[in-house]
Structure 1
Amino acid sequence: PWKVAAAVVVPPYAAKFSIFAAISQQETVPYTNRAHRVLLTSSEECEFGDENFNYWKTKNGKDILGPSDPRTVLVRRIASDIIHGVRRLFPNNSVHDDDVKQGKMVVRPQTGHLNDLNWEVIVVDDDQVKAFSSMGGKIVIHTGYLKHLKTDAEIATVIGHEAAHVVARNSMELLRSIPFYELMPFSRRAELEADHIGLMIMAAAGFDPRVAPEFRKKIEEIIGDTKLMDYIGTHPSFETRSRMLSQKEVMEEALELYKQERMRREKCQSVSSLWWNVLGYRSC
């Protein structure tokens, strides 16, 4: 896709895109195994992401809810489970920056960038039905969204989707340097990819994945949506997103992860596990 994009980019952006293409490196998205090109190494992304997010917090500080606000406490509790779900789904056994720099053949999905992420989740007092993620594991959700989220699983659907963008390194993709990227098919593909990965993350975190398709339908009714979004929107239509998540093979895989996590938690709550905890050992 990046070669196709290079062919359609018009001056004066062509030279800029060519430079970015030359310095970019190819990676494979975890779980979906899609090949894409990214602009920064994971360590550079984290450093740049921390700087950008600190600037964003300074600029929007008056609207950021404090850590003791009940809404922040709720969101961060669920986000903690989601992050644990990421770690369970993507264990530390993958390709790192050093492998790429040494010219080694990269054949496995890269998840090394997940090891050193400084995850940070913030709630903003704003009526917009909006949530977003940025470089280095930063996630923001607006109170306008929370007003419509009635269960932990619905909140987990939103946070899981944003965490999936971090997993897939969508913000680092070379294609994002194309003018009007957000209105092009590449952007909508990235959103569907984040929906897919996010579904697996929330299941691995112990949240019922069957909530996700119904949640998409719910939001469609709240904010309004049309099939036209599949062609000109920054995101696909909610109808399409719900249908993709409801596919039999996709949902069966997510339900298996959910089942495994529920069984793990039941084991952790057993009498034997409680005794281990009393003795000072963590069984889970």
Structure 2
Amino acid sequence: MKKVLSLLVIGLVCYACATVPLTGRKQLAMVPSEEIQPLVNEQYEKVKKESRILTNTLDGQKVVQVGQRIAQVVESYLIESGYSDLVESFDWEFNLIESDQVNAWCMPGGKVAFYTGIMPICQDENGIAVVMGHEVAHAVASHSRERMSKALVQQFGMSVISTAIGQNPTLTQQIFYQSVGIGSEIGMLAFSRQHELEADELGLIFMALAGYDPRVAPEFWERMSQGGGEAPPEFLSTHPGPDRRIERLNENMPKAVEYYQASQTVNN
């Protein structure tokens, strides 16, 4: 019996695995996108209603333009790479929110928010692209869904998850709030350092595909780590240390520069 159960669990794990684009990393994907997206939409609208939206300002339009440009090339890349199903799950929206917080986030499905506090560190569209690429990468790599899946496994075990989700609709909602956030805290719960480094790697490629020079990324993260001479911003509270992050960025830079140069050839 133990052997049969083990085989069932292994089969469920394999069935519930997905592959992260570009990196090829295998991840748990126990929660269907259609279960998550209504919660995402509800919470994103809640954040917008409770915040002052500055998307029609000059900075807000820069956020929208950079976001749309990156989203377009990301979707094209994913379709060419056989991830059409993932593309269908995106409904992109980009907003700038008035807040002193040095932060930005992208929820599952492509709901993005930048806070005005991060804009001085971005400085220009290239800096915005560094952050945008990184945050979009979290959505493309389904990091929130992976975190939800791990939480479900820890709470219920592998063998009963599918039944638990199907029979208890509020379960997905509870795990969503625990894994993604709620209200003003949405999208702000910490990703693992593995997720952050993976988002850095993907983000470099995404900004390069969109025609933004990835070589500005180390400079941006240096500015971010300095935090204007004060304590590092909350955006970095669980991120890799600046030295480790920049080391990894430089390791991935040659590949990103190739994508950037190719994008310049196409655009010219």
Specify the SS of the correspondent of 1:147: helix
> What percentage of aligned pairs have identical amino acids?
31
Q: Which amino acid aligns with 2:29?
A: V
User: 1:140 matched to which residue of 2?
Assistant: 113
Specify the SS of the correspondent of 2:214: coil
Could you say if the C-alpha distance between residues 25 and 225 of structure 1 is closer, same or farther in structure 2, counting changes exceeding 3 Å? farther
Aligned counterpart for 1:25 among listed residues 16, 28, 38: 16
Rounded to whole Å, the distance in 2 between the matches of 1:207 and 1:45 is 31
Aligned counterpart for 2:39 among listed residues 25, 40, 48: 48
Could you say if the C-alpha distance between residues 64 and 35 of structure 1 is closer, same or farther in structure 2, counting changes exceeding 3 Å? same
Alignment pair present for 1:244 and 2:248: yes
Q: How far is the alpha carbon of 1:70 from its aligned partner?
A: 1.4
User: 1:100 matched to which residue of 2?
Assistant: none
Q: Which moved more, 1:43-52 or 1:148-157?
A: 43-52
- Does the CA contact (< 8 Å) of 1:200 and 1:254 recur in 2? yes
Rounded to whole Å, the distance in 2 between the matches of 1:217 and 1:68 is 29
Q: How far is the alpha carbon of 1:90 from its aligned partner?
A: 1.7
- Does the CA contact (< 8 Å) of 1:46 and 1:118 recur in 2? no
Q: Which runs of 5+ in 1 are unaligned?
A: 1-17, 95-109, 267-284
Q: How far is the alpha carbon of 1:47 from its aligned partner?
A: 3.2
Deviation string 1:86-110 (CA, Å, 9 cap, x unpaired) is 123322552xxxxxxxxxxxxxxx5
Aligned counterpart for 2:201 among listed residues 186, 191, 196: 196
Q: TM-score, normalised by structure 1?
A: 0.70
Q: Which amino acid aligns with 1:207?
A: Y
Specify the SS of the correspondent of 1:206: coil
Aligned counterpart for 1:215 among listed residues 207, 210, 220: 220
Specify the SS of the correspondent of 1:64: coil
Rounded to whole Å, the distance in 2 between the matches of 1:37 and 1:189 is 14
- Does the CA contact (< 8 Å) of 1:46 and 1:117 recur in 2? no
User: 1:115 matched to which residue of 2?
Assistant: 88
Q: TM-score, normalised by structure 2?
A: 0.73
Aligned counterpart for 2:265 among listed residues 254, 263, 266: 263
Aligned counterpart for 2:57 among listed residues 26, 47, 69: 69
Deviation string 1:108-127 (CA, Å, 9 cap, x unpaired) is xx552223411011111011
More helix by share: 2
Could you say if the C-alpha distance between residues 186 and 154 of structure 1 is closer, same or farther in structure 2, counting changes exceeding 3 Å? closer
Q: Which runs of 5+ in 2 are unaligned?
A: 1-8, 156-177, 181-189
Q: Which amino acid aligns with 1:254?
A: A
Could you say if the C-alpha distance between residues 176 and 218 of structure 1 is closer, same or farther in structure 2, counting changes exceeding 3 Å? farther
Alignment pair present for 1:235 and 2:239: yes
Rounded to whole Å, the distance in 2 between the matches of 1:176 and 1:219 is 30
- Does the CA contact (< 8 Å) of 1:43 and 1:113 recur in 2? no
Q: How far is the alpha carbon of 1:136 from its aligned partner?
A: 1.3
Q: Give the paired residue count.
A: 221
- Does the CA contact (< 8 Å) of 2:144 and 2:179 recur in 1? no
Could you say if the C-alpha distance between residues 186 and 111 of structure 1 is closer, same or farther in structure 2, counting changes exceeding 3 Å? farther
User: 1:104 matched to which residue of 2?
Assistant: none
Q: Which amino acid aligns with 2:198?
A: E
Q: How far is the alpha carbon of 1:181 from its aligned partner?
A: 8.0
Alignment pair present for 1:37 and 2:28: yes
- Does the CA contact (< 8 Å) of 1:30 and 1:111 recur in 2? no
- Does the CA contact (< 8 Å) of 1:161 and 1:195 recur in 2? yes
Deviation string 1:113-151 (CA, Å, 9 cap, x unpaired) is 223411011111011111111121111111010022222
RMSD: 3.0
Could you say if the C-alpha distance between residues 236 and 181 of structure 1 is closer, same or farther in structure 2, counting changes exceeding 3 Å? farther
Rounded to whole Å, the distance in 1 between the matches of 2:53 and 2:143 is 25
Rounded to whole Å, the distance in 1 between the matches of 2:94 and 2:139 is 13
Q: Which amino acid aligns with 1:74?
A: K
Aligned counterpart for 2:100 among listed residues 117, 122, 127: 127
Aligned counterpart for 2:125 among listed residues 116, 141, 152: 152
